[in-house]
Structure 1
Amino acid sequence: MSGSPVDQVTVVCVTYRSARLAETMAATLCAFPHVVIVDNGSGDGGPARLRELLPHARVIERATNGGFGRASNEGVRAATTPFVLLLNPDCHIDMASLARLLDTLQRYPTAGLVAPQSWRPDGTAQVSYRQAFFERVPRAPYRVPDATCSAKWLHGCCLLIRTQAFARIGGFDEQFFLYYEDDDLCLRMHQAGLECLLEPAANALHVGGASSGGSAKVAFVKAYHYARSRHLAIRRYQGPKAALGYLVRTLLGGVPAVPLYALLLQRDYTIRWFGWTCAAAASLLRLAAADPSASGHRPGSQP
């Protein structure tokens, strides 16, 4: 690669109510000459603060929250470099690890993207790669690999992507508002003949869950979109029958689980099951109202 490696990378960071992370974000992003920040309609003053701290960054303010995939696509379209680093607001990577990621993509020209091994602040290794979500594998403790490896899924908190490869597969599918968009991206990369790699020699620090807060409303929205996105993913990769089974099981499990956990004063489980149940019910209602001939899901169709 000619020139400084960092000059070939645009960092794309999607924020949502991340104002309290502005200083730590700036400490990470100030070293990168090309930065695009897409704010998902936060209304928390974060974009203005980031403009002060990172005057060289392009800050795009969306009027509404369009989801992670949509905002990421908008950020990548604004990039003019051959590589894009998708980086969560609560994630940090240093220049040495970025250089290792770039070197990995250079060594493996058939790879579309590469992720570092991410770590929690307490030094615990985060699950950063695995098989496809629908593949049955024996349960085992997570083990950091000894060398570069290919995977069906990579954690989306930090991904170095070839810009052309991302455009080739159409970027993130914007139907996935939250959750499973990284599963779908990696699986479509594989379908296009592009490998997805984990590079354990590169490391990222990921706090996790620090961006959107921990209110009951946020917990419900996350649970709702987790179940909705899981249904979409199952439908796409396992078929309508498996997806319908998932919805029915979720609904039948949620009807008794919500009042039971509420009686037991288990707030987190109550909200989680309520969100899952609402998503399953909404998806079943949409399926019932849809034309049966359109039940086979495909990219670009409605869930």
Structure 2
Amino acid sequence: MKTAVIILNWNGKNLLETYLPSVVAYSGDATVYVADNASTDDSVAYVQREFPSVEIIQNATNGGYAKGYNDALQHLDETLLVLLNSDVAVTKNWLVPVVKAFQQEENLAAAQPKILDDKKKTHFEYAGAAGGFIDALGYPYCRGRIFNTIEEDKGQYDDTVSIFWATGACLFIRNLDFKEAGGFDETFFTHQEEVDLCWRLRGLGKEVKYIGGTTVYHLGGATLETQNPKKTFYNFRNSLLMIVKNVSGIKVVPLLLLRMVLDGIAALQLLLQAKPSHFFAVFKAHFSFYYLLPRCVSKRKNIKKRRGYAAQKSIVWQYFIKRQRLFSDLIK
């Protein structure tokens, strides 16, 4: 199976110096690409000089994660695409178990490996961990990470299971399925665009899986650190956009209203935690959402089929009220 590993880069020479060597060394027969989002540093020159086997895709603008990958992938003809963050270290034979799964399962559209924290290698990483799900209120969460509780890797997720969404930090996706689903929604710019894409893939009757027989290590926060208010802005806004696009029927209305109330409570908590910039980021997210709502409703109409949630419980209730902090607690 022809495989392409595509690393999106924007002014990330320091990350490429640290993480690209492992990708080149351990990616076997796959073609490795660096898709550059109009960088102003010398990262492209560095790759061309130090890794001549790596192909360069030069995007005209910095369109964030969503447009950056849409632009980069449109001319690739490899069967399997691996969208890899520039701050991910891979391991020997990391591609083999996942490629094998795609060869054996024609309906498999997207997948992810085990994602551990490169700063604390004994624990899962925030962005993706051991596979993603959606709760009854439309909140994304992961096996191995619920809100800010991150589990230690003790082999509890060394399995292969169906999941609702696979992380964009290391996203394996079949080229044809990516294009059939319409690629990433560029309105999102960054954050949760992979959740939205996987939701649409599942609406097409496709399978998304976690394959725990292979591991990568993600630094995390290399583009936007957790403490950056922009991260808060994109997460709150894009979550609302995703709900409008993908929740079926009239139930989208009460769900959206409830989420707005919960966002207000979250904003108040941020203010009480002496994080005024994050408090205002939530309100900016809502105003941006209102502005984009007509466009989002139009996109909703173009989605012919929708798939319901993978989970019917509220992790907000279970986590904050019932104090169930681990995935194993949620499924009891």
Provide the TM-score with structure 2 as the length reference. 0.73
Q: CA deviation at 1:135?
A: 6.0
Equivalent-residue separation in structure 2 for 1:215 and 1:198 (angstroms): 25
- The change in CA–CA distance for 1:115 and 1:295 in structure 2 (over 3 A counts) is closer
- The change in CA–CA distance for 1:105 and 1:190 in structure 2 (over 3 A counts) is same
Q: CA deviation at 1:109?
A: 2.0
Q: CA deviation at 1:198?
A: 0.7
Greater alpha carbon shift after TM alignment, 69-78 vs 239-248: 239-248
- The change in CA–CA distance for 1:45 and 1:108 in structure 2 (over 3 A counts) is same
CA contact (8 A) 2:163 2:210 kept: yes
Equivalent-residue separation in structure 2 for 1:23 and 1:295 (angstroms): 43
Aligned position for 2:7: 13
1:122-145 CA deviation, whole Å, 9 max, x = no partner? 221232313224468997975743
Residue 100 of structure 2: SS of its match in structure 1? helix
Q: CA deviation at 1:21?
A: 0.9
One-letter identity of the residue aligned with 2:48: R
Q: CA deviation at 1:286?
A: 5.6
- The change in CA–CA distance for 1:215 and 1:227 in structure 2 (over 3 A counts) is closer
Residue 65 of structure 1: SS of its match in structure 2? coil
Equivalent-residue separation in structure 1 for 2:62 and 2:254 (angstroms): 31
Among 125, 129, 139, the alignment partner of 2:131 is 129
CA contact (8 A) 2:112 2:209 kept: yes
Residue 153 of structure 1: SS of its match in structure 2? coil
Aligned position for 1:4: none
Q: CA deviation at 1:117?
A: 0.6
1:170-218 CA deviation, whole Å, 9 max, x = no partner? 1222222111111111111111111111111111111111x226597xx
Q: CA deviation at 1:116?
A: 0.6
Residue 84 of structure 1: SS of its match in structure 2? strand
1:52-80 CA deviation, whole Å, 9 max, x = no partner? 22223332333432121111122222322
Q: Point out where structure 2 has 5 or more consecutive residues left out of the alignment.
A: 304-332
1:250 pairs with 2:259 = no
- The change in CA–CA distance for 1:103 and 1:231 in structure 2 (over 3 A counts) is same
1:228 pairs with 2:241 = no
One-letter identity of the residue aligned with 2:133: Q
Q: Point out where structure 1 has 5 or more consecutive residues left out of the alignment.
A: 2-7
Aligned position for 2:47: 50
1:225-269 CA deviation, whole Å, 9 max, x = no partner? 111101101222332443344345535753x556644xxxx4xx3
Residue 101 of structure 2: SS of its match in structure 1? helix
Percent identical among aligned pairs is 23
Equivalent-residue separation in structure 2 for 1:17 and 1:214 (angstroms): 15
Among 290, 295, 313, the alignment partner of 1:284 is 290
One-letter identity of the residue aligned with 2:5: V
RMSD of the alignment, in Å?
3.1
CA contact (8 A) 1:134 1:234 kept: no
1:90-143 CA deviation, whole Å, 9 max, x = no partner? 112234121111111122221112211111132212323132244689979757
Provide the TM-score with structure 1 as the length reference. 0.80
- What is the 5 A alignment of 1:83-122? 83-121=80-118, 122=120
CA contact (8 A) 1:23 1:53 kept: no
CA contact (8 A) 1:226 1:276 kept: no
Equivalent-residue separation in structure 2 for 1:213 and 1:130 (angstroms): 20
CA contact (8 A) 1:120 1:205 kept: yes
Residue 98 of structure 2: SS of its match in structure 1? helix
Among 254, 267, 275, the alignment partner of 2:281 is 275
